Amino acid sequence: MRLRNGLLAAGLAATISSLPAAAAAPDVTSWAEVEKAASGQTVYLNAWGGSENINAYLEWVGAEMLKRHGVTLVHVKLDDTANAVAKVVAEKTAGKDTGGSVDLIWINGENFVSMKKQGLLLSPGWAGSLPNWRYADTENQPTILTDFTEPVEGLESPWGGAKMVFFYDSARTDAQTLPDSAGELLAWAKKNPGRFSYPAPPDFIGSSFLKQVLSEVIADPEKLAQPVNEASFERDTEPLFAFLDELHPVAWRSGKAFVQNYPDMKQKLADGELDIVFAFNPAEASAGIRAGELPDTVRSFTFSGGTLGNTHFVAIPYNANAREGALLTANFLLSPEAQLRKQDPAYWGDPTVLSMDKLGEADRKAFRSLDLGIATLAPDELGPVIAEPHASWMERIETEWRRRYASGN
């Protein structure tokens, strides 16, 4: 694909030519030159490896990158994104400003903020210079431009959406009894002891549950858009921990143990051990049904007042060895073809970050024709998005959670 927009070409050239001397790159003046420089490169994509369907999707991406561009994509499977960040930090400390071992990271907001502040990301903002950026739905998905309240400034490229959704088995649980807020969930748990749990932080899904509850119960929600105020942290989070103190005695195993992660919750829902579980992907239940992991009577619901939502991104470290290959990969992940496959529950079911209004008619028709699955809520049924708190809140509430509950008390 050639870059037709001269402004985008100039922006991309400025991105690479203005890198510090330690990270010198070819003087790129067109996307075709990026493709030429990338041919033969190996891109080490550091990304969570805990899901078979996501791993399979990335295998497909790798096959396409090799076939189309001669780029070899290696998926470095992580259990924690912080491990990839630590590699980059160690390399910077050692003065390794070129030839880094990490070329592309599937990054979360907490680690994006950390890398941005430490100057560990390729800069200036390159994402807006990608040819496929023109399709991004920046008008209706503001989380494409801010990550955990931190301005993205083109330092990472979006490739998927996420929203907290709850699942239940309609064969066992009456939809009329489902909770519609965190407060109602607590009341439901008291009426149905042992039938709800959440993963212990720092598991991402478990920490997201804590943020969902905190967003609903904090006295002043606007505080969550700002860094944690240590002087008022205890007072601000008192309603959250009061909620958990009431929940744990009526949770699975009386709060003395916690489910491991989302796959564990999914298995316990299938086995009838839990009645309500949750995930950060609206299509997870349908995907589980397709895979034979969940009964076809499982359905989804959200809270009418809103649930946590965000955009997830890929970022390129400042010292990436295969910068051009990483740029090509990020651009492909943003393409209508890759986004369509990604949203298809048969492969992943992850919501797209593209604007249908910006696509051609053939691509719009393809997206409209997707079978999202029997248990997937339509976009207008997902309810409002509650913005992610500032990244500093996650670390502090995880630390406080461990202090209070890690021993199983």
Q: Is residue 366 part of a domain?
A: yes
Indicate the pTM of the whole model.
0.73
Residue 326 lies in a domain: yes
- φ/ψ bin of 251: left (φ > 0), alpha (ψ from -120 to 50), beta (otherwise): beta
What is the C-alpha separation between 8 and 89, in angstroms, rounded?
A: 31
Asked if pLDDT for residue 9 goes beyond 70, the answer is no
Torsion, Cα of 355, 356, 357, 361 (10° steps)? 140
What contacts 71, CB < 8 A, 6 or more positions away?
38, 39, 40, 41, 42, 43, 65, 322, 325, 328, 329
Contact 36, 96 (CB under 8 A): no
Question: 228 and 317 share a domain?
Answer: no
What's the pLDDT tens digit per position in 258-301? Answer: 999 999 999 999 999 999 999 998 989 998 998 899 999 999 99
Q: Check residue 375 and give its pLDDT.
A: 95
Do 108 and 194 lie in one domain? The reply is: no
Question: Cα separation of 300 and 381, whole Å?
Answer: 10
180 plus 322 within the same structural domain: no
Residue 24 confidence (pLDDT): 45
Is residue 109 within 8 A of residue 367, CB to CB? The reply is no
What is the predicted pLDDT for the residue at 407? 65
Task: Assess whether 176 and 77 both reside in one domain.
Answer: no
Tallying the residues shown for the chain, one arrives at 409
What pLDDT was estimated at residue 351?
Answer: 87
Say if residue 5's pLDDT is above 90.
Answer: no
Q: How far apart are CA 279 and CA 175, in angstroms?
A: 18
Confidence bin at 3 (pLDDT 50/70/90): very low
131 domain-assigned = yes
Say if residue 195 is in the same domain as residue 279: yes
Write the pLDDT tens digit of every residue in 245-256. 999 999 999 999
Residue 309 has pLDDT above 90, yes or no: no
Same domain, 276 and 364: no
Q: Cα–Cα distance between 263 and 66 in angstroms, integer?
A: 31
**DSSP per position, 344-405:** -TTTT-PPP-B-GGGS-HHHHHHHHT----TTPPPGGGS-PEEEPPPHHHHHHHHHHHHHHH
If DSSP codes are grouped into helix, strand and coil, which group holds residue 262? helix
> Among the ranges 21-30, 149-158, 240-249, 378-387, which has the highest mean pLDDT value?
240-249
Q: Assess if residue 370 is contained within a domain.
A: yes
Q: How confident is the model at residue 28 (pLDDT cuts 50, 70, 90)?
A: very low
Predicted confidence at residue 348, as pLDDT, reads: 87
Q: In terms of residue numbers, what domain contains 230?
A: 165-309+383-405
**Residue 119 domain-assigned (yes or no):** yes
**Pair (33, 174) in one structural domain:** no
Q: Within a domain: residue 222?
A: yes
Number of domains in the chain: 2
Handedness of CA 166, 172, 178, 184 (dihedral sign): negative
Q: In whole angstroms, what is the distance from residue 135 CA to residue 284 CA?
A: 25
pLDDT over threshold 90, residue 1:
no
Does 317 fall in a domain?
Answer: yes
Residues 185 and 294 in one domain: yes
Answer yes or no: do 201 and 272 share one domain: yes
Residues 232 and 250 in one domain: yes
The three-state secondary structure class of 227 is coil
190-235 residue pLDDT tens: 999 999 999 999 998 999 999 999 999 999 999 999 999 999 999 9
Assign residue 274 the CATH number of its domain.
Answer: 3.40.190.10
Per-residue pLDDT reduced to its tens digit, 52-101: 889 999 999 999 999 999 999 999 999 889 999 999 999 999 999 999 99
CA-nearest of 73, 137, 125, 64 to 316 is 125
For the residues 373-381, what does the mean pLDDT come to?
85
Per the domain annotation, does 1 fall within a domain?
Answer: no
Q: Are residues 268 and 401 in the same domain?
A: yes
- The residue with tokens 């965000």 is 310
Q: What is the pLDDT of residues 82-94, one digit of tens each?
A: 999 999 999 999 9
- The pLDDT assigned to 17 comes to 40
Q: Tell me how far apart the alpha carbons of residues 348 and 287 are, in angstroms, rounded to a whole number.
A: 7
Q: Are residues 148 and 200 in the same domain?
A: no
pLDDT tens digits for 342-356? 999 888 888 899 998
3-class secondary structure, 186: helix
Q: Residues 139-189: pLDDT tens digits? A: 878 889 988 888 999 999 999 988 999 999 999 999 999 999 999 999 999
